[in-house]
Structure 1
Amino acid sequence: MLGLPTVWGAVAMTYKFVCPFAQLDGVGARIATSAVFFAVGTGLILRVRHILMRELSETRAVADAAQSALLRPLPPRLDGLVLAAGQLSADRAASVGGDLYDVVATDHGVRVVMGDVRGHGIAALGTVGAVLGSFREAAHDEDELGPLMRRLERAHARHLRQRARDEHPSACGGEPENPIAEEFVTVLLLEIRRDGAVHALNCGHPWPYLLRPGAVRCVEPMSGGDPMPPLGPFPLPAELAPVRCGRIRPGEGLLLHTDGIEDARDHHGRFFPLRSTLDGAVRGRPITPQAVIHAVYSRLLCHVGGRLGDDAALLVLRNDRSRVPAQHAGPVVRTAHKVL
């Protein structure tokens, strides 16, 4: 990049001292000299712009590849559930964010994780990878949600320590005094059993919504009480007992989301009406996960004028087990991905 100004200076000096026309004092000579300098400068500016645009395009391609590797494609059906997920990033420089989600079929039931890393953009991808990598392994190994959540906590803590050592090499391999203390991640763990019963552990994340298109109230919060603090600032409690939040009956759905959706404001400062948007999307019609996501995102972008202040992720599940036979094959890791 520094070579271009050097070239411009070299051309200017060469023209000034070598070209005979540049030695003349007439008005015409001065106009011609100015035109030459303007043409050379314009060419160099356009060249710099081309290089910057190419580097930005390459950066976005790398970021998209990293995001796709972390949030792998979502199967349309998994153990009798119909799935779809989506993500919108607040980072305008790249379509990546700090939201995470995954769905795996295990011997213990279908397990779901939804999380939100503090911050967004490329810097949050490391934490997303640490948490998702731990979940994908531990979801099959752990019989209960409590030990699974502790595995996620340990993975997050290891990631923060490593980041602190990398960013503060003066620690000389020792433990830094303040390993990125303000970093945290909210995590919601769900276990959906064969009868549709939903068990959960929640560390600072919004509770999901139960979608029941045939009921009088077709959108209801599925809550298990006050959530625990996010992973990072405080250790988990000694006792981690999952709570039963309710049940998803055949034909009903569940929507998980990050707080970037309900916290989104319009230019008048009004919050996004997620519940009423869901009501309009599912009332009187079968639940189609992709259609629900499209309806929410369309109204969300209209609400904020196309500019999000935080990442916004959605994950929609529909219990289709009355029509889809149980899949008896061995458990295979399958994951959720964005559908935009």
Structure 2
Amino acid sequence: MAFVAVIDVVAGPAVGFLPLVSLGPAFAGLVGGWRRTALIGGLALVLCLALGWYDGLFPARRGLTALASVVGVTAAGLLAAVMRQRREAELAGVRSIAEVAQRVLLRPVPRRAGHLRVAVSYTSAVAEARIGGDLYEVVASPAGVRVIVGDVQGKGLDAVETAALVLGAFREAAHDEPDLRSVGARLERAADRELQGEKFVTAVLAEVGDGRRVTLLNYGHPPPVVVSPEGTVRFAEPPRNALPLGLGIHGGSGPEPYEAHFADGDQLLLYTDGVTEARDRTDRFYPLVERSVLLRDADPEAALEALRTDLVAHVEGPLHDDAAMLLLRYQRH
């Protein structure tokens, strides 16, 4: 508005810049509230009257047209500002509901469970998203600490509904069942009963007791990574591949439990494929094994945050898929 005023005074009324004063309330309606838009619109009206009087455009048609332009654009800006504020209020309400849903679906995991220190990281592929299809849970049961990390096929509300189904079944079974195979059987029955069509969930279950071993059950999920105190990294791969949860009706036997060495100082990283399949601009996958050195921090949460930051830096932009990571550090003292 100030620029238009200067040009109008310097160049004179022949240039015809006076109606451009209405750009002030137009932009105010896009970025400000209705009060600010009304204030800018009133200022634009006063400026238009002053410049029109200075240029001798009143009561000629050019002056009245410029005045009408300012009034019309101000009215439109006020309407746009009111509608935008209403949409922002509705969006804030939806986000608050989503945050509550996230706290119910993905509850904060305990920082300590038995001899384990626990840290979790969840990075959404959409900056505005609060919940998605990745899932995780840590349950302290009489048989030991039981953990699940999974990835639901698909996105959106359907994926959230499926994640809630699997987590609900796991939370109940983890307390009731005597061993990890029985927990997996409960999840299989729930998934086969509830999931329709081609929906499925890849998941890995883990159980850590008092021994120096971790028992794993893998339903078509990326194998966990075990990091020793010396920095040695190895994948805890299953003896054979198994179908994801929800595809049991297509035949095939379920997964067999297997064990991996897990003693004092060892770390177990469970993750979803959003981590290992994250690509940089040259289509190079994220080198999880090489970056595992970032997990040496004495604080598990700081270590996992360093890994998450490195993952985001590798992609150099928003992730193409949700990425969940859960770190278990065996620490007796």
> Do the two structures share a fold, i.e. TM-score over 0.5?
yes
Q: Please tell me whether residue 308 in structure 1 is matched to residue 319 in structure 2.
A: yes
Distance change in 2, residues 1:130/1:239 (3 Å): closer
User: Comparing both structures, which one devotes a greater share of its residues to helix?
Assistant: 2
Distance change in 2, residues 1:239/1:261 (3 Å): closer
The aligned residue for residue 87 of structure 1 is 122
**Superposed counterparts of 1:214-225, under 5 Å:** 214=230, 217-225=231-239
Q: Please tell me whether residue 243 in structure 1 is matched to residue 265 in structure 2.
A: no
The aligned residue for residue 215 of structure 2 is 199
Structure 2: any 5+ residue segments left out of the alignment?
Answer: 1-58
The amino acid of 1:313's aligned partner reads: A
The aligned residue for residue 272 of structure 1 is 286
- Which SS does the other structure have where 2:199 is aligned? coil
Task: Give the TM-score, by structure 1 length.
Answer: 0.75
Deviations, residues 248-271 of structure 1 (Å, cap 9, x unaligned) = 111111110000001001111111
In structure 1, C-alpha distance between the alignment counterparts of 2:104 and 2:63, rounded to whole Å: 62
- Report the Cα offset of residue 79 of structure 1: 1.1
Deviations, residues 279-313 of structure 1 (Å, cap 9, x unaligned) = 2432xx65x32122111111111111230100101
How many matched pairs? 274
- Report the Cα offset of residue 94 of structure 1: 1.9
The aligned residue for residue 261 of structure 1 is 275
The aligned residue for residue 16 of structure 2 is none
Deviations, residues 3-60 of structure 1 (Å, cap 9, x unaligned) = xxxxxxxxxxxxxxxxxxxxx9933333322222111111111222222222222222
The amino acid of 2:305's aligned partner reads: H
1:88 and 1:95 in contact (8 A); partners too: no
Deviations, residues 221-249 of structure 1 (Å, cap 9, x unaligned) = 112233311112343644653122x1211
Deviations, residues 67-104 of structure 1 (Å, cap 9, x unaligned) = 11112122221111111111011123322221111111
2:294 and 2:307 in contact (8 A); partners too: no
**Superposed counterparts of 1:56-205, under 5 Å:** 56-160=91-195, 179=196, 181-205=197-221
- Which SS does the other structure have where 1:194 is aligned? coil
- Which SS does the other structure have where 1:207 is aligned? coil
Distance change in 2, residues 1:240/1:210 (3 Å): closer
CA radius of gyration, larger in: 2
Structure 1: any 5+ residue segments left out of the alignment?
Answer: 1-23, 161-178, 324-340
Identity of aligned residues (%): 40
- Report the Cα offset of residue 155 of structure 1: 2.2
- Report the Cα offset of residue 115 of structure 1: 0.4
Distance change in 2, residues 1:230/1:239 (3 Å): closer
The amino acid of 2:281's aligned partner reads: H
- Which SS does the other structure have where 1:93 is aligned? coil
Q: What is the Cα-based RMSD across aligned positions, in Å?
A: 2.0
1:89 and 1:120 in contact (8 A); partners too: no
1:91 and 1:120 in contact (8 A); partners too: no
- Report the Cα offset of residue 122 of structure 1: 4.1
1:250 and 1:320 in contact (8 A); partners too: yes
Task: Give the TM-score, by structure 2 length.
Answer: 0.77
- Which SS does the other structure have where 2:103 is aligned? helix
The amino acid of 2:258's aligned partner reads: V
- Which SS does the other structure have where 2:165 is aligned? helix
Distance change in 2, residues 1:206/1:92 (3 Å): same
